[in-house]
């Protein structure tokens, strides 16, 4: 399972990269705005800065919702670095744009996916990744993980190459459950990744080992 971090914060991206388990980064316009990155040039420079830190795919989202504009924007993003994956919303023009990018060898991430039908369409169009938003489905009292399960079944039935990128991951249980179901990738916040480290028996066991060592070395 690949681990992506879902942020545009360079410090957090560096921390995850230093941990040695990072396979990529996803961003979106809200995450870029959260870091105060505005204006076309600053946005492009920020994507370049992210690409310089990580050894994997970096999703950069188009703002346009019209086919021609998406193509222009996506091609400019893809030129920034080989790591760039053009993130495209699941709308009619988005599906057409994904098809275009796939014929040009430009990697894509189809975002804002909330149903298996949308995921099927994204795979048919040749998306590299499809991003079902599991946390947002849970937020409206539906089952985000059930959607991952459905997409896994459909993609396996037809051996689609599109990778399931579980997005809107909120906590470590989401990560574990996605791993059990067979999501290819998960993207989540640094806190959810770091929470996988934690177990109270690890902490108490380590404290005991260190104190026994200390006592023994004083004898
Ligand atoms: O990048 C898309 C997705 O991961 C957003 O997550 O937490 O805003 O629902 P969230």
Confidence of residue 219 (pLDDT cuts 50, 70, 90): confident
Minimum-distance ligand 1 atom for the alpha carbon of 31: 1
Minimum-distance ligand 1 atom for the alpha carbon of 135: 9
Ligand 1 atom 7 nearest Cα: 168
User: Does residue 61 line the site of ligand 1, with CB under 6 A?
Assistant: no
- Cα 167 to averaged position of ligand 1 atoms, centre (Å): 6
Confidence of residue 96 (pLDDT cuts 50, 70, 90): very high
**Which pLDDT belongs to residue 144?**
97
Q: What percent of the chain has pLDDT over 90?
A: 100
Query: What stretches of the chain show up as alpha helix (H) in DSSP?
Result: 10-19, 29-34, 40-53, 67-80, 92-103, 116-125, 134-139, 144-158, 172-181, 190-195, 200-218
Catalytic residue annotation:
87
Q: For residue range 4-42, list pLDDT tens digits in order.
A: 999 999 999 999 999 999 999 999 999 999 999 999 999
- What the block records as the tokens of 133 is 């938003």
**Which pLDDT belongs to residue 168?**
98
The DSSP symbol for 20 reads T
Give pTM, 2 decimals.
Answer: 0.96
The DSSP symbol for 133 reads B
Q: In the chain, what is the greatest distance between 2 CA atoms, to the nearest angstrom?
A: 77
98, 104, 103, 107: which is closest to 125 by C-alpha? 98
Could you give the CA distance from residue 103 to residue 135 in angstroms, rounded to a whole number? 32
- Cα 64 to averaged position of ligand 1 atoms, centre (Å): 19
142: left (phi over 0), alpha (psi -120 to 50) or beta: beta
Q: For residue range 143-201, list pLDDT tens digits in order.
A: 999 999 999 999 999 999 999 999 999 999 999 999 999 999 999 999 999 999 999 99
**Which pLDDT belongs to residue 167?**
98
- Cα 166 to averaged position of ligand 1 atoms, centre (Å): 10
Could you give the CA distance from residue 133 to residue 139 in angstroms, rounded to a whole number? 10
Could you give the CA distance from residue 59 to residue 160 in angstroms, rounded to a whole number? 20
Ligand 1 atom 8 nearest Cα: 168
């Amino acid at each position: 399972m690949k681990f992506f971090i879902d942020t545009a914060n360079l410090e957090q991206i560096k921390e995850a990269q230093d941990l040695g388990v990072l396979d990529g980064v996803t961003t979106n316009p809200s995450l870029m705005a959260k870091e105060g990155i505005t204006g076309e040039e600053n946005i492009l420079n920020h994507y370049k800065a992210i690409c310089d830190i990580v050894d994997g795919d970096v999703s950069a989202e188009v703002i346009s919702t019209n086919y021609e504009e998406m193509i222009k924007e996506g091609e400019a993003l893809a030129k920034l670095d080989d790591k760039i994956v053009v993130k495209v919303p699941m709308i009619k023009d988005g599906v057409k744009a994904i098809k275009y990018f796939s014929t040009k060898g430009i990697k894509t991430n189809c975002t804002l996916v909330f149903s298996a039908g949308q995921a099927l369409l994204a795979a048919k169009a040749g998306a590299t990744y499809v991003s079902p938003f599991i946390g947002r489905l849970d937020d409206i009292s539906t089952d985000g993980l059930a959607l991952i399960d459905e997409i896994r079944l459909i993609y396996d039935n037809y051996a689609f190459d599109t990778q399931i990128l579980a997005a809107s991951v909120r906590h470590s249980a989401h990560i574990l459950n996605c791993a059990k179901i067979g999501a290819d990738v998960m993207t989540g916040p640094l806190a959810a990744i770091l929470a996988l480290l934690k177990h109270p028996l690890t902490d108490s066991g380590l404290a005991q080992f260190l104190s026994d060592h200390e006592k023994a070395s004083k004898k």
